[in-house]
């Protein structure tokens, strides 16, 4: 293979004093939900907010002086760009990061904040990649791929060495976009524990891993990517990562955006860990195949925490609604004094708190002299919602969800 365990060891020496080893964290909640010993590897706590600093710094540190003078160009949905911007600034190298126009605002700002130039091109990672390659030729700069590069993969593989030194895993769950992280981890883990399973978890909106395994070749999906896990939305698996993936990775697990969102919320509420969509994907996969993991020691890699706050707000809203912690509904009522206060008094007597309320008396689909009240209540769970619905019905209110 293009990347050896020796390459990962060399990367670790370069990263000494730069990358802080992240701990393995435990959660009795996750142990109970999955029926296994679950160990979380929180790379969201890493410098620049993700594991990407490992590969980016290793790549920059290995550059020749001639290459450094040329400068570097990269394409990124966010985390690779932030890491490369930080590493290039530290090394005194000029970098241009091409990001899609749809990239999270926080990731764009952070990438610029590390001291390098950001160019916004295209609507997704693949379009940004094409623009970056063209810009690279124009500038005569060195192109640094986010995952299809032996030095990048070797840097990411240092995470696998850390895991091997911290525990004896039966299974390691890894989020997969272009494949650089899982390739590096698989090489390192299999060196120490040949019988351990390394399982890739992909987003349903960008399922290039399962497609590549099915075809036994690095493949690209033939439709637009669409997932809240923007860090995984590459649309293709890299050729170099697939050398290791095809030999060392047993299978892929596919999770949708709702499953990813639930994992984000679960970690935030139960472990006080903020993960981005890509970062929570491996946990979503572990929850999905919990029956296969029972009784095992399972390491879950949380790859990053650079989430857009607006997206986080939507994830929290969806998650709370599914758990019965938010109840959204509408009621049509007479538009006259005290009617609204009566409704709110009934809601309060049922033990619910009003989160948002909208009172509309001008809708064309309700009679003149009536108003529609749309409410969102903070509730304690499905049983509480049933109690509220029953209580309002007993007071002759018709609840429309």
Active-site entry in 41, 47, 52, 107: 52
Residue at token pair 């980016």: 56
CB count in 10 Å sphere of residue 365: 6
CB count in 10 Å sphere of residue 130: 14
> The domain that contains 106 carries what CATH number?
3.40.50.1100
Q: For residues 282 and 165, state if they share a domain.
A: yes
Q: How far is CA 382 from CA 320, 326, 337, in A?
A: 11, 9, 32
Task: Indicate the Cα dihedral angle 327, 333, 336, 341, nearest 10°.
Answer: -30
Phi first, then psi, for residue 102 (nearest 5°) are: -90, 5
Active-site entry in 85, 210, 212, 303: 303
Q: For residues 159 and 283, state if they share a domain.
A: yes
Tell which residue, 139, 96, 143, has the closest CA to residue 121. Answer: 96
Q: For residues 373 and 312, state if they share a domain.
A: no
Q: Is 52 known to be catalytic?
A: yes
**pLDDT by 10s per residue, the chain, length 401:** 899 999 999 999 999 999 999 999 999 999 999 999 999 999 999 999 999 999 999 999 999 999 999 999 999 988 999 999 999 999 999 999 999 998 888 889 999 999 999 999 998 888 999 999 999 999 999 999 999 999 999 999 999 999 999 999 999 999 999 999 999 999 999 999 999 999 999 999 999 999 999 999 999 998 888 999 999 999 999 999 999 999 999 899 999 999 999 999 999 999 999 999 999 999 999 999 999 999 999 999 999 999 988 899 999 888 888 889 999 999 999 999 999 999 999 999 999 999 999 999 888 888 888 999 999 999 999 999 999 999 999 999 999 98
- Residue 400 covered by a domain: no
Residue 400 buriedness (CB in 10 A; 0-12 / 13-18 / 19+): exposed
Q: For residues 172 and 205, state if they share a domain.
A: yes
Q: For residues 38 and 180, state if they share a domain.
A: yes
Q: Is 212 known to be catalytic?
A: no
DSSP sequence for 138-179: HHTPEE--SSSSHHHHHHHHHHHHHHHHH---SEEEEE-SSS
Q: How far is CA 363 from CA 359, 369, 386, in A?
A: 10, 11, 28
- Residue 334 covered by a domain: yes
- Residue 354 covered by a domain: yes
Q: What is the span of the domain harbouring residue 15?
A: 5-49+153-318
């Amino acid at each position: 293979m293009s990347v050896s365990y020796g390459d990962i060891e060399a990367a670790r020496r370069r990263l000494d004093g730069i990358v802080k080893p992240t701990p393995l964290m435990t959660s009795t909640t996750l142990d109970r939900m999955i029926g296994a010993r679950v160990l979380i590897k929180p790379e969201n706590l890493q410098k620049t907010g993700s594991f990407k600093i490992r590969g980016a710094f290793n790549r920059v540190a290995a550059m020749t002086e001639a290459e450094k003078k040329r400068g570097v160009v990269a394409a990124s949905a966010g985390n690779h760009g932030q890491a490369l911007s930080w590493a290039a600034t530290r090394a005194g190298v000029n970098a241009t990061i091409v990001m899609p126009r749809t990239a999270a605002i926080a990731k764009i700002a952070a990438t610029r904040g590390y001291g390098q130039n950001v160019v916004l091109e295209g609507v997704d990672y693949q379009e940004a990649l094409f623009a970056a390659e063209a810009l690279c030729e124009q500038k005569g700069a060195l192109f640094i791929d986010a995952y299809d590069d032996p030095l990048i993969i070797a840097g990411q593989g240092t995470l696998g060495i850390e895991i091997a030194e911290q525990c004896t895993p039966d299974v390691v769950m890894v989020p997969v976009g272009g494949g650089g992280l899982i390739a590096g981890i698989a090489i390192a883990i299999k060196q120490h524990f040949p019988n351990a399973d390394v399982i890739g978890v992909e987003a349903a909106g960008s399922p290039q891993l399962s497609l590549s395994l099915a075809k036994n070749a690095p493949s690209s999906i033939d439709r637009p990517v669409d997932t809240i896990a923007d860090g995984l939305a590459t649309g293709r698996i890299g050729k170099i990562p697939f050398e290791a993936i095809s030999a060392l990775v047993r299978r892929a697990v596919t999770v949708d955006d709702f499953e990813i969102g639930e994992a984000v919320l679960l970690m935030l509420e139960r472990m006080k860990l903020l993960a981005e969509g890509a970062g929570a994907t491996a946990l979503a996969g572990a929850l999905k195949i919990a029956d296969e993991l029972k009784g095992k020691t399972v390491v879950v890699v949380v790859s990053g925490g650079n989430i857009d706050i607006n997206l986080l707000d939507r994830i929290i809203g969806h998650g709370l609604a599914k758990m019965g912690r938010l109840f959204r509904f509408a009621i049509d009522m007479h538009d006259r004094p005290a009617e609204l206060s009566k409704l709110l008094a009934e809601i309060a007597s049922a033990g619910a708190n009003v989160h948002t309320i909208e009172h509309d008396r001008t809708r064309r689909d309700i009679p003149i002299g009536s108003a529609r009240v749309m409410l969102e209540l903070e509730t304690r769970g499905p049983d509480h919602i049933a109690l509220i619905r029953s209580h309002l019905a007993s007071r002759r209110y018709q609840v429309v969800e």
